[in-house]
Amino acid sequence: MADLKRRFADNRTTALPDLPEESDQDFDATDRMYIVREDDSLSSIARKFYGNASSRRRILEANRALIHDPFQIEPGWRLRIPA
């Protein structure tokens, strides 16, 4: 996955971070996936799925391998949304 690229609107290109290989034990059958969009935050995603922004920590903990700074998530990232 290290060679994946994402193109921004201003035509800059950045590499996505290396991600660990997903295993069946990391993903519960009731979990969902969400692709981050422009202007999303963990709080706004938590409101969409759980009805309140305070549940953002659930999303953060489920995606610790990808999210190192909860205030900087990138459009195009695939986040696991725990049930």
Per-residue pLDDT at 27: 58
Whether 2 shows a pLDDT value over 90: the answer reads no
Q: Mean per-residue pLDDT for 4-25?
A: 45
pLDDT at 30: 80
Contacts of residue 23, Cβ cutoff 8 Å, sequence gap at least 6: none
